[in-house]
Chains A and B, each alone.
Chain A
Amino acid sequence: MSIPKLPLGKAVEWLENWLTTYLGPLFDFIHAVIGGMVNGIEMALTILPALVLILIITALAYWIGKWRMALFALAGLLLIDNLGLWGPSMQSLALVLTASVLAVLIGVPLGVLCAQSTGVQNTVTPILDFMQTMPAFVYLLPAVSFFSLGVVPGVIASIIFAIPPTIRLTNLGIRQVSPELVEAADAFGSTAGQKLFKLQLPIALPTIMAGINQTIMLSLSMVVISSMIGAQGVGAYVYRAVSQAKTGAGFEAGIAIVIIAILLDRLTQKLVKPKKG
């Protein structure tokens, strides 16, 4: 007995074609917005000489994390510049920041919706599971066919890969607000919006920020994969080094990514911790 193979792959390709044909203008619009964002951020990051920006970031690191952090930022960024990877690093950073900002802008409201309706939560959760477990390479392909090669499909793929923690932890953070506090807010006649902004979001903030931190880290981990579809940046250096078996060059580019990752992680983490006053 043989059951014919289900045409699942065919169906997906048909859907892809249909979307490209009928939603072309929408994709063009998204392409323009994301492309503009990436270029804008990249320009802002490179308009100043590398050294000036390094000093600014070091000052920021000092303000947030005192000496240890400032020292690390200074040494790390100088090393990147010294290795000749400053430009591509800023290109990658622009991609990561764009993807992270969009992921937060989409993810936090979605998380809020999930927290307010168990129905929405039950619909969204399996989709998030799907997004996180499906190998990233697989959705690079439709991203390319909708947005062509370059940085934009890289951003899209990064958002898809990196958004789940923000949604999940926003949902969790709001649901963890003690029912007694929610009841108190209700008892004083709060509207749903007042309850959200005056009670639930402020109390859930540390949890939400932990999700955002995860999102930034995950989108950074996408820079190498994005480089396969033509996104420029330090990821492309890694990819090239891997394909040409140049261990040294690969290591240099890899170190640059690690330094950026540690800086982004510590900066966003410290930002969350409530200041003791």
Chain B
Amino acid sequence: MAIIEVKQLTKVFGHDAVRALPLLAQGWSKEKIAREAKLTVGVNRADFRIEEGEIFVIMGLSGSGKSTLVRLLNRLIEPTGGQVLFRDKDVVKMNPEQLRQFRRKNIGMVFQKFALFPHRTVLANAEYGLEVQGVEKKERTRLAMEALELVGLKGWEHHRPDQLSGGMQQRVGLARGLANNPDILLMDEAFSALDPLIRKDMQQELLELQSKMKKTIVFITHDLDEALRIGDRIALMKDGVIVQIGTPEEILIQPANKYVERFVEDVDLSKVLTAAHVMRQPEMIRPERGPRVALQLMRDSGVSSLYVADKEMKLQGVVTAEDAAQALKGNQSILEVMRREIPRVSPDTLLNDLFELMSGTHLPVAVVDEADKLKGIVIKGAVLSALAGNAVPEGDGIR
């Protein structure tokens, strides 16, 4: 079930903003409304669902309305129209007390410029959300310490935020957001103010944290690399409109329109696509079959080598046409002539890392899972064609 469902969510800034709603419904553009009604459209009828436990990335350039959109979810900005359903309760219709409880219990937030309270220690910052709920001192210290430990700040709890580096400050921000154990964590450009290297570390850590905690995370960013790295699904925004929602692969491979296409054209596909995207169904043979069958199979499917796998699909080796012909002459079994030393990679291997491996071998690379089960093979041509932007993964190639 979706934890958040957003329907026709709209924010218009300006005097008597509701009058823009019928105009938007008539299809007026942001520019036309700005010109003729003197109103600024922040978010234009956004529709999406966020599933429990996913990292949902909202991406767009500055001014695209993404920061406004995320603030509509917890009503730091009041929506002009539409609904935000949290487990089927409309956040937009909540009274101030219900809204306060919703913010205290269900939805945490991490800010771009950290927004730590300078007069409080690291611990007191992490405690803040619990403190306003009225959780008693001992309990909130315990929970805040747990959160600080989770983000790797144990031992720093009595420092002031300004004594910490940027990366550490944002860990405090993260701990503050997590301490009261909300269902949803909003992260507004949370890593944008950090140095590139620290930023990558934080992204990695967020993914690790997420695998432990299974929070629902709404992550705002203007950085496509970041979106691709951490997002389970990505919503791309332009001029207040959500242009496309999809998995990172869908956005890259099937951009919905010219805007998305331009957005993603500079992406280094070799750092995004994995072996799983470009692999194809291997031609296989069981080890107990004879060389004659192997040669026949190769002829039928027009290939020069076969992968040898047992009943459980466990990869044994590879046999080429020459090997099979030799076996036929010498009356040997496939097991005796097959090559066991073959390049293997996991489905998550980036194309970038595949290059080196492939340049050293004539054989296709085998893609195997942790149990050494054969999932597919990658041939050079598929990699090159994917990098040229023509990736058309076969149905069974996608995770």
User: Which residues of A are at the interface with B, using a C-beta cutoff of 8 A?
Assistant: 178, 180-181, 183-191, 194, 198-199, 202-203
Contact = CB atoms under 8 A, between A and B. Distances in A.
B55 interface: no
Nearest to B158: A277
Contacts of B176: 188
Interface in B109-128: 109, 111, 113, 115-119, 128
Given A183-B76, A203-B118, A203-B119, A189 B129 contact: yes
Given A183-B115, A203-B118, A188 B76 contact: no
Given A183-B76, A184-B109, A189 B115 contact: no
Given A180-B113, A183-B111, A203-B119, A191 B100 contact: yes
12 contacts: A178-B115, A183-B111, A187-B108, A187-B109, A188-B180, A189-B99, A189-B101, A189-B103, A189-B132, A194-B132, A198-B131, A198-B132
B115 A184 contact: yes
B254 interface: no
B204 to A, nearest CB: 25
A191 B103 CA distance: 11
Nearest to B104: A189
B132 to A, nearest CB: 5
Contacts of A189: 99-105, 129, 132-133
B64 interface: no
B108 A202 contact: no
Interface string B189-211: 00000000000000000000000
A188 B115 contact: no
A184 B104 contact: no
Contacts of B118: 203
Interface residues of B, number: 26
Contacts of A188: 103-104, 108-109, 128-129, 132, 176, 180
B320 interface: no
Contacts of B186: 187
B274 interface: no
The 8 closest A-B pairs by CB, nearest first: A189-B104, A189-B103, A184-B115, A187-B109, A188-B129, A180-B115, A189-B100, A202-B119
A199 B111 CA distance: 17
Contacts, number: 56
B210 to A, nearest CB: 20
Contacts of A199: 117
A184 B111 contact: yes
A173 to B, nearest CB: 13
Contacts of A186: 76, 103
B44 interface: no
A184, A194, A203 — most chain B CB neighbours (10 Å)? A184
B74 interface: yes
B339 to A, nearest CB: 60
A187 B76 contact: yes
A179 to B, nearest CB: 9
Nearest to A186: B76
Nearest to A205: B119
Contacts of A180: 111, 113, 115
A190 B180 CA distance: 13
B45 to A, nearest CB: 25
A178 B116 CA distance: 11
A188 B128 CA distance: 8
Given A184-B109, A189-B101, A198-B128, 12 more contacts: A178-B115, A180-B111, A186-B103, A187-B103, A188-B109, A188-B176, A189-B103, A189-B132, A190-B100, A191-B132, A198-B132, A203-B119
Contacts of A183: 76, 111, 115
A54 B176 CA distance: 49
A202 B160 CA distance: 15
Nearest to B77: A183
A180 B292 CA distance: 74
Interface in B62-111: 74, 76, 99-105, 108-109, 111
B91 to A, nearest CB: 13
Nearest to A277: B160
